[in-house]
A and B are shown apart, each in its own frame.
Chain A
Amino acid sequence: KQEVTQIPAALSVPEGENLVLNCSFTDSAIYNLQWFRQDPGKGLTSLLLIQSSQREQTSGRLNASLDKSSGRSTLYIAASQPGDSATYLCAARTRVLTQGGSEKLVFGKGTKLTVNP
């Protein structure tokens, strides 16, 4: 059974700092991994998706990496801004060998990021 863990649960940094958010998963047979942003009381905004065959993906100031062998993914945020303050969730979609992959995303609990001006 896939389990996803995110450490730390909360992180507070000054504006302008580069930072890394961590995500670990127990089953390395993943189909893909998706990073989301969640603002308080709001929905989930997809940030990046990394396929199992990829090592990293970039979008603007965000870079996500994937290391299946160690069961880890990181989200790197460059030059953080107060507008980046939110909870960041990672979610793994597990590959089922007899099918094209399980449909469900298994989520971590998230890292709550605060960027102070």
Chain B
Amino acid sequence: EPEVTQTPSHQVTQMGQEVILRCVPISNHLYFYWYRQILGQKVEFLVSFYNNEISEKSEIFDDQFSVERPDGSNFTLKIRSTKLEDSAMYFCASRGTGGNYNEQFFGPGTRLTVL
């Protein structure tokens, strides 16, 4: 069964460093998302991406964040200058289009630890 994959599974970085989290969505999906979950808190929406542009973003998704689909298979989240409060589990998700293709499928997540 097709699935969303994410790399790395765990990333440790120093405060102020740039990190790139990578995702490979399900191959025929066209909508892509990033969510995050701070330990013990709710899963929060960050951004949605369709047709090579951001379709929606939350207040969390400020200028420190950016997304990109550099090729036909990868979808990335970049944090330019990490802060301690960026430590969280980051989930990528994707969905198809048309008909009943409203279900969002999530990857296993990347645990980001900012020291």
Contacts and interface: CB of A to CB of B under 8 A. Distances in A.
A111 interface: no
Interface stretch (A14-22, A63-71, A101-109): A101-109
Contact of A44 (B43, B44, B48): B43
Contact of B55 (A32, A93, A103, A110): A103
B104 A34 contact: yes
A82 B35 CA distance: 29
How many chain B residues sit at the interface, stated as a range, is: 20 to 34
A95 B112 CA distance: 32
B42 A104 contact: no
Contacts of B41: 109
A43 B31 contact: no
Contacts of A110: 42
A51 B102 contact: yes
B91 A49 contact: no
B75 interface: no
B45 A104 contact: yes
A91 B107 CA distance: 16
Contacts of A49: 102-103
